[in-house]
Amino acid sequence: MDEHAPVSASFDAVTSPLRRGGADGVPHPLLIEASAGSGKTWTLAHLSARFMVEDDVEPHEILLLTFTRDAARQLRSRVRDRLDDIIGVLESGDSDAPWLDPF
């Protein structure tokens, strides 16, 4: 398989291989197609934050596409919220924080 070919997989936020593999198990590039309310935004926000924190990926190296500007604003906000959560945990020194668990 071409390493740059898009990957499409059925998506379930609870049983997804992305959940089990974490940032290391994510194919690049990744295409997630799923119905409303399935956890796409949550997953993309968490993956983006993990790439930035764990793999030193710069924000300008991540491309997230949505169908509407409102969805883009929501996704951007969730990524920022996730990063704020991580920063808060790092500043508090709480090594048992839930963000450290595999999602």
Q: What is the CATH number of the domain that holds 45?
A: 3.40.50.300
> For residue range 74-83, what is the model confidence (pLDDT) as tens digits?
999 999 998 9
**Predicted local distance difference test score (pLDDT) of residue 5:** 42
Number of domains in the chain: 1
In sequence order, what DSSP letters do the residues of 21-69 get, joined into one string?
A: HGGGG--SSEEE---TTSSHHHHHHHHHHHHHHHS---GGG-----SSH
| Packing angle of the helix pair 69-92, 40-54 (nearest 10 deg) | 50
Q: What is the pLDDT of residue 80?
A: 93
pLDDT at 53: 84
Domain that holds residue 70: 7-96
Specify if 54 maps to a domain. Answer: yes
Residue 1 located in a structural domain: no
If pLDDT is split at 50, 70 and 90, which confidence band does 73 have? Answer: very high
Residue 76 placed within a domain: yes
pLDDT at 39: 84
Average pLDDT over residues 91-99: 67
Q: Which tens digits make up the pLDDT trace of 2-32?
A: 454 444 444 444 445 455 555 566 666 777 7
Per the rule left: phi > 0, alpha: psi between -120 and 50, beta: everything else, 88 is alpha
Q: Is the pLDDT of residue 44 over 60?
A: yes
Decide: 44 and 32 in contact? Cβ < 8 Å.
yes
Spatial CA neighbour of 86 closest among 65, 64, 101: 101
